Structure 1
Amino acid sequence: MDVGIVVNPVAGMGGRVGLKGTDGKVAEAIERGAEPRAPARARRMLDRLAAVAPETSVVAAADPMGESTVREAGFDPARVVDPFEGEASASGGAPDPTETTAAHTAAVVRAFAGLEGDGPDDERPADAVDLVLFVGGDGTAADVAGALEGTEVPMLGVPAGVKVYSSVFAVSPEDAAEVAASFSRTERREVMDIDEDAYREGEVHPELRGVAHVPVADDLQSSKQTASGTVESLAEGVAADIRERDGEGVTFVLGPGSTVGAIKDELGFEPSPIGVDVWRDGEVVVRDAAEAEILDALGEENVIVVSPIGGQGFVFGRGNPQVSPAVIRRCDLRIVASRAKLDDVRALRVDTDDPDLDDDLSGWVRVRVGKFETRMMKIV
């Protein structure tokens, strides 16, 4: 099997510093102390691929879009595609990760597919890879799908962005490797993206950006769906429990989403748009907090209140990267969800960037579904 690997080196950098995305915000993310996320997730996928399919032939994008990570995982690329050839770097040396663009991604992917010029060939070229594995978020997925338009070359995403609304991603880096090594058929799936500026203002308007061939496997996540059903009584019950702890110095980290947003409304404050708010002793301590601000606000006793994201069942790792492993390890966990949302998922999932923590969080958990009612769900 021939696999093309391309990494968006700045994907997801805006998440932990509270930017809810990196499109057009790379410089600001760096100023806030953001660190690259995608290369480490690429390495996790490649390490697993080397374990389950060491015979895989890999075609890599030149650095900073994947080559070194591929070699570090033990693969000797059969070919390296350099989209920067002939370009002058602003630094005067090798291309800086912040200088990568959608055009570079598209150029790499078209080379992976054996395409020349601007239009697809009538027949699949002999040097086309069997699968394009990309590491990034929804914006990267849209770039890859656009470059593959008109071809039957399949694509599969290793999730490294903040949003990840499309149904072309594997659940985790390791799952992406498993799917790549074992898939036998593909199906057409939608590539979605949203306007990040509107997203930062609390408006989520998914837009169809393309349709791509994607390997079919149980470990692929589905698109986010809007769950139906009321959360009023749930919010009332949880807010009452939180207020009972007012005056005791308990810090509550309240995650994003409509369900926890209803709890914030019940507590009597305007929730930050799709952000994380910190509450203690009857007042908001930090609004729309980044990871560092959450850590600074934590006390002796801390509780995270979070709801699974959409129809994917992700408790951590999609839409709430501010709630990092460092935050999670210092807090008790409370999961809340409407009955309708849980009916749409078979299990809950976590993807914290810390495999050991993911293992610690796995297992059966109690999920609050009403004013008093709970349901047992398994984190897998």
Structure 2
Amino acid sequence: MRIGFLINPVAGMGGRVGLKGTDGKVAEARARGAEPRAPDRARRGLDALAERAPGTAVFTWDDPMGASEVRDAGFDPTVLGAPAGDETDADDTAAAVEAFREAGVDLVLFVGGDGTAADVAEALEGSDVPMLGVPAGVKVYSSVFAVSPEDAAYVAATFERAERREVMDIDEDEYREGEVHPELRAVAHVPVAEQLQSGKQTGGGTVESLATGVADDVRARPGTTWVLGPGSTVGEVKERLEFEGSPIGVDVYRDGDVLALDAAESEILDSLGEDNVIVVTPIGGQGFVFGRGNPQLSPAVIRECDLEIVASRDKLDDLRVLRVDTDDPELDEELRGWVKVRVGRFERRMMKIV
């Protein structure tokens, strides 16, 4: 197996500091104290690949686009080139992928988000070389990503054939304003495997009674801090609490007061009290509770809170399971298992987090 491996080193940096993406916001993300997310995700995937397929021939691009991470995992990579400047961009991704194609790789394995996926797919256009993503972006709408870094390694080491799947992306400036309009950017060859996530879909069904039930619980628990995640379902809860929340951000509420709107991880942690509850809804079609669209809900935040998952019945009907991808494998393991998901004012349905 010959794999071309690259990292978008700034993918996902804006998430925990509330920027909802990194396109055009790298400097601001760093000013807010953001730490790179992609290299750690890369190391997890490469460590798993080294354990499963240590004889893999890995071709990569020089730092910060993969060389050190590949060597740290125990591979002896062939480094085919280097970024053109101090800050990497789409041109560097395209150059790396073109070099991988010329080297005759069997798969391009990349670490990033939807923007990186689109760049890789564009560079592979006209070839049959498959691509596979290790999810590291804030928004991961495309169906070319594995569920986790470890799943990406498993798929890379074991796949036998590829199929055509969609690469989706959104305008991040519109996304920050609460407008979500995924657009098809490319169709790419991707390994056939159960460990791939589905493309982003919209869940249907009414949520009025569900939101009323959550709002009733909020009012019945004075002193409790409520960390309300993004999405239209939780947005209904915010409306019933009579405040205009951020549609794609995280808001913090306690005893009739909004403590933080569109909060970053640090603001959430500063707002927590002794009794805290996170309210989140899974992403329709994918089932992610944590790890897609809400990186502000970091492992540190999650460990300080109880969890309330809410979803319409129609949304759950389209999901076989729920998923988590928090950047903390131990926490992911703790969260796995059967959970009660609120589907009405009083009703709940059992779902499994895998």
Compute the TM-score of the two structures, normalised by the length of structure 1. 0.92
- The one-letter code sitting in structure 2 at the alignment partner of 1:214 is V
Report the secondary structure of 2:118's partner residue: helix
* Alpha-carbon distance, 1:311 to partner: 1.1
* Alpha-carbon distance, 1:83 to partner: 3.8
8 A contact 1:352–1:358 mirrored in 2:
yes
2:98 alignment partner, one of 110, 129, 135: 110
Report the secondary structure of 1:113's partner residue: helix
CA distance in 2, matches of 1:377, 1:81: 46
8 A contact 1:83–1:107 mirrored in 2:
no
Question: What is the 5 A alignment of 1:281-320?
Answer: 281-320=255-294
8 A contact 2:63–2:82 mirrored in 1:
no
* Corresponding residue number in structure 2 for 1:261: 235
* Corresponding residue number in structure 1 for 2:15: 15
Say whether 1:276 aligns with 2:250: yes
8 A contact 2:323–2:353 mirrored in 1:
yes
* Alpha-carbon distance, 1:282 to partner: 1.1
* Corresponding residue number in structure 2 for 1:185: 161
* Alpha-carbon distance, 1:273 to partner: 2.8
Structure 2: which 5+ residue stretches go unaligned? none
Report the secondary structure of 1:189's partner residue: strand
CA distance in 2, matches of 1:333, 1:143: 36
CA distance in 2, matches of 1:61, 1:325: 31
* Corresponding residue number in structure 2 for 1:123: none
2:145 alignment partner, one of 169, 174, 192: 169
* Alpha-carbon distance, 1:309 to partner: 1.3
8 A contact 2:147–2:195 mirrored in 1:
yes
Q: Once the two structures are superposed, what CA deviation does each residue of 1:137-183 show, in whole Å capped at 9, x if it has no partner?
A: 00000000000001000000000000000000000000000000111
Say whether 1:35 aligns with 2:23: no
CA distance in 2, matches of 1:301, 1:244: 13
Larger mean Cα displacement after TM superposition, 53-62 or 12-21 = 53-62
CA distance in 1, matches of 2:263, 2:323: 23
- The one-letter code sitting in structure 1 at the alignment partner of 2:28 is E
Report the secondary structure of 1:211's partner residue: strand
Compute the TM-score of the two structures, normalised by the length of structure 2. 0.99
Question: What is the 5 A alignment of 1:100-139?
Answer: 100-114=88-102, 127-139=103-115
Say whether 1:50 aligns with 2:56: no
Q: Count residues with an aligned counterpart.
A: 354
Say whether 1:81 aligns with 2:55: no
* Corresponding residue number in structure 2 for 1:333: 307
- The one-letter code sitting in structure 2 at the alignment partner of 1:365 is V
8 A contact 1:168–1:191 mirrored in 2:
yes
* Alpha-carbon distance, 1:37 to partner: 0.4
CA distance in 2, matches of 1:111, 1:177: 22
CA distance in 1, matches of 2:64, 2:290: 28
1:361 alignment partner, one of 330, 335, 352: 335
* Corresponding residue number in structure 2 for 1:93: none
Structure 1: which 5+ residue stretches go unaligned? 90-95, 115-126
Report the secondary structure of 2:185's partner residue: strand
Q: Once the two structures are superposed, what CA deviation does each residue of 1:30-69 show, in whole Å capped at 9, x if it has no partner?
A: 0000000000100000000001111111001111100000
8 A contact 1:200–1:273 mirrored in 2:
no
* Corresponding residue number in structure 1 for 2:129: 153
Q: For the pair shown, which has the larger CA radius of gyration, 1 or 2?
A: 1
* Alpha-carbon distance, 1:283 to partner: 1.7
Report the secondary structure of 2:93's partner residue: helix
8 A contact 1:194–1:206 mirrored in 2:
yes
Q: What is the percent sequence identity of the aligned residues?
A: 76
